[in-house]
Structure 1
Amino acid sequence: MKTFNVPVIYRSPLITAIKNKRKQQDRMKKDFTPTVLDFGPLKILLARHFGFCYGVENAIEIAFRTVDENPDKRIFLLSEMIHNPHVNNDLLSRGVRFLMDTSGKQLVPWEELQPDDIVIVPAFGTTLEIEKHLESLGIEPLKYNTTCPFVERVWNKAEQIGEKNYTVIVHGKPKHEETRATFSHSQSNTATLVVKDMKEAIVLGEFITGKRPAAAFAETFAGQFSNGFDVERDLQRVGVVNQTTMLATETQAIADYIKNVMVEKYGLTEETIGERFADTRDTLCYATNDNQTAVTGMLQEPADLAVVVGGYNSSNTSHLVELCEEKLPTYFVSDPAQLESASSIHHYDFHHKQELHSNTFLPAKDQVTILLTSGASCPDALVEGVIRRLLSFYQLEHLADEIVI
């Protein structure tokens, strides 16, 4: 796989050595057991896969290269480059400005843009409507395009099934930049609908079977369906794609549920299912899949708690937190400094969108075992920082430089 020129401040010699060793031992990625870092009173189980993915490194390389090569130009990002505050703040410190926030609220009026300005498309991609608007301002919309190839793969899949007259159902968060972009590209080819979770998928199933009246659809899925969507016409043939950072098990469950609804309504068999349900297979990116599977493997080991590092608005990171929460006390942090002491930690409750402070962090026992992972937009340097921070609570920070993998 291609390697990227990512700023050294995001790298970690320690984490790089660990990852390279595991890669040599398991080139086919079949071993999802964690790496064990045993420091005596502290044992850290580090997930098999975590940190920057292909799409993130690609976006960072393009963005920083663009800044370096255009010192005399105004440079804008449509919104956050990725969902990590450290990377975004580094870009802001270098003079880059965001045109919108993550919800799409305008921060810089379109009227302020000039034809010689540079506008970078973030890793999530953007909508066709925004591309056309940039063109109307004299700006080439995709000249500085960092859209993740795996996001574009979803667009291509949606286009392929749309051309075969299937309606596209997108499993994603309706307000997320990537889902908005996928919805825009898909609806240009076919009827498109967004469902955010299994609860909404079940409701959709009731519209498909007629258990709910078609007249209630517009209110139930307000803002989540394409213009001219007709319940009776557009739910006869469907296929499911997803926001690439969703929980893999949930996407599969939603696809299976919708498939079964179509089978029951139309009396389909394995030979005829394709008449009503498109085989989209998995449209999750490899990193989302690997990171989630690595967490599942890590959770097979006995531990006292889990720490997940990443941006608070990072979808893929929040799903790692979800998986850990099912088994253990879990602390979601964005920076090593949030680990104040062995007893004090600031962490994020993404369910209620609020930061919490806990005075009971590390248990008092002879050996504490911690599961540690990070999201796909989190620099490895932050993971190393967390390891060092944890070691400092036991006066063992010097051991970070002596690890032999």
Structure 2
Amino acid sequence: MPDPAPKTKRARVNVRRPDVMEKVTAEVEAHYRSSIVEKIRSKGGELIIGGTTIRLAQQFGFCYGVERAIDLAYAARRVFPDQRIYLIGEIIHNPEVNRQLVDMGIVSLPWKELSDDYDKLEEEDVVIVPAFGAPTSFMDKIAERGCYVVDTTCGDVMKVWRRVRTYAKEGMTSIIHGKAGHEETAATASRALGDDGTGHYVIVLTLDDTDFLCRYIREGGDRDAFFERFKGALSPGFDLDEHLKSVGVANQTTMLKSETEEIQRRVRQAVIDRDTTEERFKVFDTICGATQERQDALFEMLRKPMDLLLVVGGYNSSNTTHLVEIAEQELPTFFIRNAKCLDSLEQVIHFDLHQKTEVESTYPKDLLSAEKAIIGITAGASCPNNLIEDTILRIFALRGIDAETVAAS
């Protein structure tokens, strides 16, 4: 029996046609825009009605990369109205946005490993690559299947890829500050192998991970303990005698900026302590600009008095999680998925970063039911404004102020 005809390798398709994007813009605005949020922003980010003050961060919500990814996903459905459209994992880390895509008939594919689903793809199928990007093995499989590809990978992520590829080409191991189980870090790690697959990487999440790594760079140590510590966070064939000689630091773009900078400093010092020179160390700032802006805006927001802060977004959103980490050091902070989490004036359903689960808590000192309350709100780069509006209206409703009064204020 003859071999089947080879698949046709399709190039990435450009779905940003003017006629399509006009309709997409209207559709996206209808789903995610908020006139109330825009009004509060125009007033300096604060709305006071009676004893209730809502204060918004100067920067929050969708960044350019997220907006672009959503636009391209919506456009893909319009350009390919009758074809099967698949998405590798989630377009971004927000349940509301991903639900909208499911309603449009876009089917999510597994992203943690190449499953049989990828072998079932056909030439006329469309595959959307999410804003986080995808590992090279996934891209190779899609090319092999001959599918149309709509690539929404964020430009900031691709800058990191270029950097780790350069490290690999120069024989340097990439030390990646990120979450080994995160889509973006998995995609970046695959590029750190280099074009010929001979590169190497180690992924560090915490400063404790970094200190462990730095001790090994300086003086060696227990090899078994090293491999146990970084299990699932090392490139295949990692050689401790060879692959820590020359290192370059990069990061998942949504990590906490101050922590990434401290990791860079500690690794650099470890190399200097070992070699008396930093010739075998390189670093490149790859924190996303939007992530920096939202973190900086939160630090500025925390200068003013507030009774509590609500951080709105998907619980698996890295950049949103770091906003919670910053704020909870300063005041009562609750990480909520949406307005439905505001159960009452006394109770809130929120994600506890330390327990790593959703819990129900009582506000300290009945903050929402006090005669006067100042409530701050911020969100990560993957949270749409309509969810912020819902949260604002829910707070006011709990405090006896209806939506019509809010809209007219």
Secondary structure (helix, strand or coil) at the match of 2:282 reads coil
8 Å contact from structure 1 (residues 312, 350) kept in 2:
no
Take 1:213 and 1:123, find their aligned partners in 2: how far apart are those partners? Answer: 38
The 1:373–1:207 alpha-carbon spacing in structure 2 relative to 1, beyond 3 Å, is same
1:224 corresponds to which of 233, 240, 249: 233
Take 1:214 and 1:68, find their aligned partners in 2: how far apart are those partners? Answer: 54
Q: Tell me by how many angstroms 1:20 deviates.
A: 5.8
Structure 2 counterpart of 1:125: 133
Residue 56 in structure 1 maps to residue 69 in structure 2: no
Q: Tell me by how many angstroms 1:296 deviates.
A: 1.0
Shifted more, 213-222 versus 165-174: the winner is: 213-222
Take 1:57 and 1:146, find their aligned partners in 2: how far apart are those partners? Answer: 10
Q: Tell me by how many angstroms 1:165 deviates.
A: 2.6
Structure 2 counterpart of 1:212: 221
Q: Deviations over 1:99-139 (max 9, x none)?
A: 115x4484x72232212111110111001111111122222
The 1:160–1:318 alpha-carbon spacing in structure 2 relative to 1, beyond 3 Å, is same
Q: Tell me by how many angstroms 1:21 deviates.
A: 6.6
Secondary structure (helix, strand or coil) at the match of 1:52 reads coil
Q: Tell me by how many angstroms 1:402 deviates.
A: 2.8
Q: Tell me by how many angstroms 1:211 deviates.
A: 4.3
What is the TM-score of this pair, normalised by structure 2? Answer: 0.88
Q: Deviations over 1:353-388 (max 9, x none)?
A: 321122435344331111210111000111111111
8 Å contact from structure 2 (residues 60, 294) kept in 1:
yes
Q: Tell me by how many angstroms 1:194 deviates.
A: 0.8
Structure 1 counterpart of 2:335: 332
Structure 1 counterpart of 2:15: none
Structure 2 counterpart of 1:400: 406
1:167 corresponds to which of 166, 173, 178: 173
What is the TM-score of this pair, normalised by structure 1? Answer: 0.89
Take 2:85 and 2:360, find their aligned partners in 1: how far apart are those partners? Answer: 37
Take 1:78 and 1:211, find their aligned partners in 2: how far apart are those partners? Answer: 40
Secondary structure (helix, strand or coil) at the match of 2:281 reads coil
Secondary structure (helix, strand or coil) at the match of 2:86 reads strand
Structure 1 unaligned spans of 5+: 23-34
The 1:204–1:391 alpha-carbon spacing in structure 2 relative to 1, beyond 3 Å, is same
8 Å contact from structure 1 (residues 349, 356) kept in 2:
yes
1:362 corresponds to which of 362, 367, 373: 367
Identity %: 38
1:302 corresponds to which of 297, 301, 305: 305
Residue 9 in structure 1 maps to residue 14 in structure 2: no
1:192 corresponds to which of 198, 201, 208: 201
Structure 2 counterpart of 1:138: 146
Q: Partner amino acid for 2:265?
A: D
Secondary structure (helix, strand or coil) at the match of 1:347 reads strand
Q: Partner amino acid for 2:405?
A: L
Take 2:42 and 2:176, find their aligned partners in 1: how far apart are those partners? Answer: 36
Q: Tell me by how many angstroms 1:399 deviates.
A: 3.5
8 Å contact from structure 2 (residues 250, 283) kept in 1:
no
Structure 2 counterpart of 1:68: 78
8 Å contact from structure 2 (residues 202, 233) kept in 1:
yes
Structure 1 counterpart of 2:281: 277
